[in-house]
Amino acid sequence: MLKVTLENKEVLDVEINSAIQAMRTCYSSNHLSDNGENDKKLLKTAIKNKHYTPLEFITLTFSIEDMTRTVLQELARHRTQVLNVQSTRYTLKKMKDDVRGNLDKYFYTDLPNYTEFLLMIIDFIEEKDLWELPNDKLKLYMPESLYCKLYMKVNLRNYFNFYRLRSSERAHFLIQELANSTYNTLPDYIQELIDLEVEA
């Protein structure tokens, strides 16, 4: 099951303030800053006017576990984030001893007859002694349902685009889950900014 944690929550207030000061610099109005509601309204005004550049000062860093390689491929195809991904090159054989009895620990399995399909793959790998292959070759036998872990960093402007596209009903159902899971980790004020942009 997908697990998402917002890792930089404690510094978001500082970054929000940086975005506000960047916005105020555009109009030489830094002296009007109140470090409160007026400043926060200013960012909302920026969004309504499609003035997104100051939002790049706000970054979101997520720790993500149990995400399929299918979703990783989608992220890579439309990349506006910084991604640091668990290396199957160094970790793949760690599953060897318990994969058969714990398929849902290593793979997304919520598909018809999928457990049976995965067991056929594991049987094939064992029968052909493929566990002895170098990981670079062994991983090519693994389906895209294999889970991975990663860190993802994205600025708020790019997150708007990610969330708008990937939470859509037209997006792959697993990337919809990722988009909504990242959103649900965010503080209320950041969610308000996102909602404002999505509704615009």
Amino acid 46: pLDDT: 87
SS3 107: strand
| 109 and 157, same domain (yes or no) | no
| 108 and 154, same domain (yes or no) | no
pLDDT band at 78 (very low <50, low <70, confident <90, very high): confident
Instruction: Count other Cβ atoms within 10 Å, centred on residue 135.
Output: 14
| 138 and 112, same domain (yes or no) | yes
pTM as predicted: 0.91
**Domain-located, residue 72:** no
| 156 and 107, same domain (yes or no) | no
| 44 and 14, same domain (yes or no) | yes
SS3 84: strand
| 57 and 27, same domain (yes or no) | yes
| 114 and 164, same domain (yes or no) | no
Q: Is the pLDDT at 163 greater than 90, yes or no? A: yes
**Domain-located, residue 75:** no
pLDDT band at 29 (very low <50, low <70, confident <90, very high): confident
**Domain-located, residue 51:** yes
**Domain-located, residue 76:** no
User: What does the pLDDT average to over 76-86?
Assistant: 87
Amino acid 160: pLDDT: 94
CA distance 58 to 81: 13
Is residue 107 within 8 Å of 129, Cβ to Cβ? no
Active site residue 89: no
Number of structural domains found in the chain: 2
**Domain-located, residue 177:** yes
Question: Which listed residue (89, 100, 164, 166) is catalytic?
Answer: 166
| 140 and 155, same domain (yes or no) | no
| 141 and 119, same domain (yes or no) | yes
| 28 and 54, same domain (yes or no) | yes
**Domain-located, residue 82:** no
What are the counts of helices (DSSP H) followed by strands (DSSP E) for the chain? Answer: 10, 4
| 181 and 132, same domain (yes or no) | no
**Domain-located, residue 79:** no
Q: CATH number of the domain that 18 lies in?
A: 3.30.1360.170
Its domain, for residue 141, covers: 89-147
